[in-house]
Structure 1
Amino acid sequence: MKVEKFNDPLARRSHQLHFETLRLDTPFQPRLAELSQTNDWYSWAGYKAPHSLYDEELEYFAIRSTAAVFDISPMTKYRIAGSDAEAFLNRLMIRDVRKLGVGRVHYTAWCDDHGHVLDDGTLFHLGPSEYRLCCQERHLPWLLDSADGFSVEIREETTDIAGLALQGPTSYAVLRNAGFAGVEQLKPFQIAHFPLQGGTVTISRTGFTGDLGYELFVPRALALDLWDRLFTAGAAHGIRAIGYSALNRARIEAGFIVANADFITSETALRGNRLRTPDEIGLEWMVDMEKPNFNGRHAIQIARTKGKLRHVLVGLEIEGNVPPELSLVYHRKKKEAGIVTAAIWSPLAKRNIAIASLERPYGSRISDDLWVEIYALRELQYQKMMKRAKIVPRPFIALPRRTATPPALF
């Protein structure tokens, strides 16, 4: 057998067998590795990402009490540009892209032809005829196929662009101390560009925590410069790096959903009854039926008018203090009604809260006498508990500082 030697690391990687291939490093991995005390990593879209770095609870309280930094570089990112960029995106998205002004961001979703959600994400309008689409799953073949007939250029820039989420009450103070003058003028879902080491950092007032917060995007080569600048400026403001476990707690409190956790995307679903329309995962408010035709419009309209909506996503408050994640929901303790997709004991709300997918009519016409089946491990023995649940609005918490403009320094 001939053995080939490669001095170039990229060449070596391309010739590795799939089970020998290591998870990729994000541009911020050197800093994360230095801070990691738990060595608790997971794979996010092929990248090495931290579940936690030192202590999950303390990381959560960094979000709610000071400033927390989370590496969002593995998030899939597409640059979509060209004279038909707006028309192309408006054909795909369930929201009206024509209403998204330059320098603005909106949360959106897109469907297949049957009205089932392919994914959700954020759409950044960076400049005239230029957008960035950020999402959980990879969709490049689908985007390219959908672009037939449009004058548009689509390029994945996941590896080229590094991203950080800076979230928490002192996040604005950190940015001000870092020298990003004018960032206080950013309103929620607004974008601005700032100089950084001869390049540019794009800052948006967005996030996944329901708190005051920002997301920062830079070319890969400037990633560590950005990190060091933030942590130097934030030393007096309690800045801490965090992992996904802490972020997940905050997003549940905020009532936000995660693809392939709270709903299964249509490209990854193996069973037909796992598919969901926007109305079945709480995104009905996004669907703009007044705009020109878009993917799935006809199917969504039929589902609405002919009563074909089979599921509903709800917020639950459950008695007790044991989070019922992935527990079954019952009506009158007998009839299975759905499943809890995410749950925590909320330190901020002081409640046991959950997001659940229910089968209609539960959660719509029938909303009383709901119970959750919980198996709690008590000294090597599981104890079955039936706890009463009631449907409550999302978000579970609402923090005025999230939208205050200009934000306070705290």
Structure 2
Amino acid sequence: MDLTVKLKNADDIDHIATGVQPTPFHSRTSKLNMNQQWVEWCGYATAVSYMDAHIEYFATRNTCAVFDMSPMRKYRFKGPDAEAMLDRMVTRDVSKQALNTVAYNVWCTDAGRVVDDGTLFRLADDEFIVCCADPCYDWFQLAAVGFDAIEITDISEDLASLALQGPTSCALLKQMGFSGIENCKPFEIVKFPYLSGEMMISRTGFTGDLGYELWIDPKDAEALWDELFDKGYNYGIQPLGDESLDMARLEAGFISPDVEFHGALHTVEPGHDHSPFELGLGWIVNFKKAHFTGRAALLAEKESGNYRRLVKLDIEGNKPAESSILYSGKNCKQEIGYVTSAMWSPVVKANIAYGLIDAKYIDSEIWAEIYHQKELRWYRKVAKCTKVKKPFWAPERAKATPPPDC
């Protein structure tokens, strides 16, 4: 069998990625990355940290920081059937989402297992953009079966994006000339003319603090970065890497793909996928709307109550419970779950974590078996865990409109 790919002409190979690709901001991020440590995200290079993860993290809490989120996958849904198709796919009621707003969402298999999570932007009655961490184009095409009046387009390469996060972020945007940005409410979208085209700004982010996400044509990416760092000097701007972003999102009580959960299409072992209820996302599962994928399975799970719970934990001591097993007693005989994320929180001054607990032990005492190293020697510690309901970090400025100038 001849498996040779026949090309029409040499230009046909231009779209084929060869190795890890630079983002539209790479010419700037690579110069600031003193560590030159990169990881691959959807085929693109993203910085682990630029100099020190804690310096970058503190910028999200005291000044402002910029994270290159261009590798995120972005898909446009356009046409008369766009709303109905998305409403059948995701767990929230899309028909209730107002124009020029953003809503966090998940979409599931028929078995009620999470395929992925992401943000849904409503730009018009018949136009939406979905942003997610992993490629989902094939799933979206399957979900659109039966809907003829819709066009789904992968626009990932058509939008460069930055997350500008921290208490001075709004003041910096005003300094850049985005008049009225202070009136943008959480999860709202505003648009401004900028450089050769248009800037879309959403009051969204992954740090739990005041922040915005900036969406722009890739050809204007470098100019945007330069202006941010030129005018942001007096606002304490810093570049933000993966490590520091992960610290901030854990304090904010946000889950992360491939950390708290694997998408159901990427797991092999039974039980290694998750439902929205297991991940604490029951608040975005709407059973009042019409049928959506996974509805029957999710309703049965909710009524049974027999599902694991992802809980926030305040753990005694100061040794992070990374990769720890959780037990129902100090003797560590009955295993009840495991830690998905853990850290010592510099701002909260607490040893915090996410833990996934088996349903029948959710009301039991929780103890973490922690192994930590000191001068090349390993030590074992058993620490008591206290369940916490609210996010560890949720300052008033994150919701205030207009936010205070810091």
Q: TM-score, normalised by structure 1?
A: 0.94
For residues 109 and 251 of structure 2, the distance between their equivalents in structure 1, rounded to whole angstroms, comes to 30
Structure 1 position 234, deviation (Å): 1.0
* Residue pairs, 1:134-153, within 5 angstroms: 134-150=131-147, 151-153=149-151
For residues 292 and 389 of structure 2, the distance between their equivalents in structure 1, rounded to whole angstroms, comes to 29
Q: Which residue of 2 aligns with 1:189?
A: 187
Given the alignment, which residue of 390, 397, 404 partners 2:386? Answer: 390
| 2:338 alignment partner, SS class | strand
For residues 274 and 150 of structure 2, the distance between their equivalents in structure 1, rounded to whole angstroms, comes to 29
For residues 11 and 145 of structure 1, the distance between their equivalents in structure 2, rounded to whole angstroms, comes to 27
After superposition, the Cα gap between the structure-2 partners of 1:10 and 1:406, relative to the gap in structure 1 and judged at 3 Å, is: farther
Q: Which residue of 2 aligns with 1:44?
A: 41
* Residue pairs, 1:88-127, within 5 angstroms: 88-127=85-124
- Which deviates more, 258-267 or 292-301? 258-267
- Which deviates more, 24-33 or 372-381? 372-381
Q: Which residue of 2 aligns with 1:3?
A: none
Structure 1 position 367, deviation (Å): 3.4
* Residue pairs, 1:132-281, within 5 angstroms: 132-150=129-147, 151-281=149-279
| 1:272 alignment partner, SS class | coil
For residues 38 and 261 of structure 1, the distance between their equivalents in structure 2, rounded to whole angstroms, comes to 24
Q: Which residue of 2 aligns with 1:373?
A: 369
Q: Which residue of 2 aligns with 1:408?
A: 404
Structure 1 position 12, deviation (Å): 7.5
For residues 375 and 305 of structure 1, the distance between their equivalents in structure 2, rounded to whole angstroms, comes to 38
Structure 1 position 229, deviation (Å): 1.9
May I ask how many residue pairs the two structures share in their alignment? 395
List gaps (5 residues or longer) in structure 2.
1-9
After superposition, the Cα gap between the structure-2 partners of 1:77 and 1:383, relative to the gap in structure 1 and judged at 3 Å, is: same
For residues 124 and 164 of structure 2, the distance between their equivalents in structure 1, rounded to whole angstroms, comes to 23
Given the alignment, which residue of 284, 293, 296 partners 1:295? Answer: 293
For residues 344 and 209 of structure 2, the distance between their equivalents in structure 1, rounded to whole angstroms, comes to 18
Describe the superposition over 1:102-122 as per-residue Cα deviations: whole angstroms up to 9, x where unpaired.
Answer: 111111111111111111111
Do the aligned residues in 2 keep the contact of 1:367 with 1:391 (CA within 8 Å)? no
* Residue pairs, 1:19-58, within 5 angstroms: 21-58=18-55
| 1:26 alignment partner, SS class | coil
| 2:361 alignment partner, SS class | coil
Do the aligned residues in 2 keep the contact of 1:255 with 1:315 (CA within 8 Å)? yes
For residues 396 and 250 of structure 1, the distance between their equivalents in structure 2, rounded to whole angstroms, comes to 10
The residue identity in structure 2 corresponding to 1:396 is F
Superposition RMSD in Å: 1.6
For residues 223 and 82 of structure 1, the distance between their equivalents in structure 2, rounded to whole angstroms, comes to 29
The residue identity in structure 1 corresponding to 2:339 is V
Describe the superposition over 1:73-100 as per-residue Cα deviations: whole angstroms up to 9, x where unpaired.
Answer: 0111111111111111000010000111
For residues 399 and 276 of structure 2, the distance between their equivalents in structure 1, rounded to whole angstroms, comes to 26
Do the aligned residues in 2 keep the contact of 1:95 with 1:108 (CA within 8 Å)? yes
Q: Which residue of 2 aligns with 1:4?
A: none
| 2:311 alignment partner, SS class | strand
| 2:339 alignment partner, SS class | strand
Q: Which residue of 1 aligns with 2:318?
A: 321
Q: Percent identity, please.
A: 43
After superposition, the Cα gap between the structure-2 partners of 1:9 and 1:173, relative to the gap in structure 1 and judged at 3 Å, is: farther
Structure 1 position 167, deviation (Å): 0.2
Structure 1 position 65, deviation (Å): 0.6
For residues 338 and 328 of structure 2, the distance between their equivalents in structure 1, rounded to whole angstroms, comes to 12
| 2:401 alignment partner, SS class | coil
The residue identity in structure 2 corresponding to 1:402 is A
Runs of 4 or more consecutive aligned structure 1 residues displaced over 6 Å after TM superposition = none
After superposition, the Cα gap between the structure-2 partners of 1:277 and 1:12, relative to the gap in structure 1 and judged at 3 Å, is: closer
Q: Which residue of 2 aligns with 1:85?
A: 82
Do the aligned residues in 1 keep the contact of 2:196 with 2:220 (CA within 8 Å)? no
Structure 1 position 394, deviation (Å): 3.3
Do the aligned residues in 1 keep the contact of 2:109 with 2:294 (CA within 8 Å)? yes
Q: Which residue of 2 aligns with 1:341?
A: 340
The residue identity in structure 2 corresponding to 1:314 is V
Do the aligned residues in 2 keep the contact of 1:39 with 1:53 (CA within 8 Å)? yes
Structure 1 position 9, deviation (Å): 9.8
